[in-house]
Amino acid sequence: MSPAAQVDLKEYCLDVARRAKSAAAVVSQLRGAAKNQWLRESARRLRGDSAKILAANSLDLAAAPGYGLTEAEIDRLKLTPARIDAIAVGLEEVAALPDPVGEVIESTVRPNGLDVLKVRVPLGVVFFIYESRPNVTADAAAICVKSGNAVILRGGKEAAHSSRAIVDLLGIVAAETGLPADAVQLVNTTDRAAVGHFLKLAEFIDVAIPRGGEELIRRVAAEATMPVIKHFTGNCHVYVDRSADLEMALRVTVNSKCQRMGVCNAAESLLVHADVAAEFLPRVAAALAANSPPVELRADEHARQLVPTAREAVETDWYTEYQGPILAVKIVNSLDEAIVHINHYGSHHTDAIVTRDLDAARTFVARVDSAAVMVNASTRFNDGGQFGLGAEIGISTDKFHARGPCGLKELTSYKYVAYGTGQVRE
């Protein structure tokens, strides 16, 4: 890039961020009805204008082989009328959620008569950096604006045309329904330097949310001058306690591992109490071998005596997030050993225990330091929709501000409001 083009890019990013900040002041004050009208009308228009969206999508599909996308990736990129309808339904679902802005989270009347309210307010401007699925463009715009924020969307180049068509449509409907045009902006360049420029603009941007590979998230966390909500993948565990219902343990293990393998809340390690290992391990190994695709086991020596077909696990296996048909397997001699293993090797994302023992459940819940701890349920439930938050912009692996699924509330802050009758401090 020429020096002049570099200056242009920097100016462009500054202009986008400034516009977003101005728009955020307006969006923060919108009534819920205005935001919902925008969402519902956008859903209607998406269905009505699906030909336009599909035409844009076909440009992305044509370019996809040139970007080296796999067939699975191209399939996720591809839009159909049914998938556009699903996007529209997503907008309608966000419209149906209660408006988080203005909610009184806590309140108290002080002895001097001062009424103190803690009131939910938007964060301001969200900078969202994400992978190339077009539905994410619509979802993120909906969640950010519904929670009273403006959003700067930086999608992958692979879905550039589809995302542009969707954002243009949202912008047209915004103009018609009284929302500021800059409430939702799509960055018009896929130049990676643009991300670096935005990450310096803490004056205008209140939070950066990167979603994608670990490398992207680490880069954003390192360069950002504003807070970052990080979404690392998960090294999730299922621990089968000695008191477990083994039928249930089988169901939960297979579901946690196999229901969808490439996602952050899929299980990567299985820990089994020694007392039930001889009975449980051969059964679960058979079930996992019968899955399509079959799941390869990497086991410690004790477990390999029970499942001879398993490969030998090495130290790195306990840390690995396979996101595919591999499961690490270890036999533990106690609940304590399981908890220590999970807290040491895990990624503090989602971990499950299967047990009938109340004390074991309580101990596991209290001591496993993860965003979500499941008792007798699949790890796959750690999800905004499944937990009842509605739509989510991701699953935070941070402890600060937001942990676990990030929905509308996680995109808000609060202010204190105190109503008095002339009170002063003595």
Closer CB to a second copy, residue 327 or residue 372? 372
Angle between helices 274-289 and 246-258 (to 10 degrees): 50
Q: Which of 36, 50, 378, 397 binds a second copy (CB under 8 A)?
A: 378
Closer CB to a second copy, residue 66 or residue 416? 416
Closer CB to a second copy, residue 71 or residue 344? 344
Task: Take residue 157 and report the two structure tokens written for it.
Answer: 């180049």
Q: Does 367 bind a second copy (CB under 8 A)?
A: yes
Question: How many residues belong to the chain?
Answer: 426
198/11 Cα distance (integer angstroms) = 11
Determine the interface stretch with a second copy among 136-144, 154-162, 314-322, 367-375 (rule: CB under 8 A). Answer: 367-375
Q: Does 393 bind a second copy (CB under 8 A)?
A: no
Determine the interface stretch with a second copy among 92-100, 174-182, 187-195, 397-405 (rule: CB under 8 A). Answer: 397-405
Determine the interface stretch with a second copy among 56-64, 137-145, 171-179, 402-410 (rule: CB under 8 A). Answer: 402-410
Q: Does 147 bind a second copy (CB under 8 A)?
A: no
Q: Does 268 bind a second copy (CB under 8 A)?
A: no
Q: Does 388 bind a second copy (CB under 8 A)?
A: yes
**142, 180, 348 from 26: Cα distances, Å:** 16, 7, 38
Segment 193-222, which members bind a second copy (CB under 8 A)?
A: 206-207
Segment 329-348, which members bind a second copy (CB under 8 A)?
A: 343
What backbone phi and psi angles, to 5 degrees, belong to 123? -75, -40
Instruction: Please give the angle made by the CA atoms of 324, 329 and 332, to the nearest 5 degrees.
Output: 150
Q: Which of 166, 374, 393, 408 binds a second copy (CB under 8 A)?
A: 374
Closer CB to a second copy, residue 318 or residue 364? 364
Q: Which of 162, 255, 269, 347 binds a second copy (CB under 8 A)?
A: 255
Positive or negative, the Cα torsion across 88, 89, 92, 98? Answer: negative
Q: Does 246 bind a second copy (CB under 8 A)?
A: no
β strands within 24-171, DSSP E:
104-109, 115-122, 125-129, 150-154
Shortest CB 251 distance to a second copy, Å: 5
Closer CB to a second copy, residue 157 or residue 367? 367
Segment 19-38, which members bind a second copy (CB under 8 A)?
A: 25, 28-29
Q: Which of 227, 311, 326, 357 binds a second copy (CB under 8 A)?
A: 227
User: Who contacts 153 (Cβ-Cβ below 8 Å, separation ≥6)?
Assistant: 128, 130, 137, 140, 141, 163, 167, 184, 185, 186, 187
**138, 169, 254 from 46: Cα distances, Å:** 10, 8, 38
Q: Which of 76, 251, 302, 311 binds a second copy (CB under 8 A)?
A: 251
Determine the interface stretch with a second copy among 10-18, 179-187, 322-330, 363-371 (rule: CB under 8 A). Answer: 363-371
Contact 395, 404 (CB under 8 A): yes
Determine the interface stretch with a second copy among 47-55, 68-76, 247-255, 282-290 (rule: CB under 8 A). Answer: 247-255
94/26 Cα distance (integer angstroms) = 20
236/264 Cα distance (integer angstroms) = 8
Whether the bond into 293 is cis, omega within 30 of 0? yes
Query: Nearest Cα to 295, choosing from 275, 323, 325, 329?
Result: 325
User: H-helix or E-strand containing 424?
Assistant: none
Segment 106-145, which members bind a second copy (CB under 8 A)?
A: 108, 110, 114, 116, 119, 121, 123-124
Q: Does 292 bind a second copy (CB under 8 A)?
A: no
User: H-helix or E-strand containing 404?
Assistant: strand 404-406
Instruction: Look at the block and give the residue holding tokens 């047990």.
Output: 355
Q: Does 59 bind a second copy (CB under 8 A)?
A: no
Q: Which residues bind a second copy (CB under 8 A)?
A: 25, 28-29, 108, 110, 114, 116, 119, 121, 123-124, 206-207, 227, 245, 247-248, 251-252, 254-256, 259, 343, 361, 365-367, 369-378, 380-382, 386-388, 398-401, 403-405, 413-425
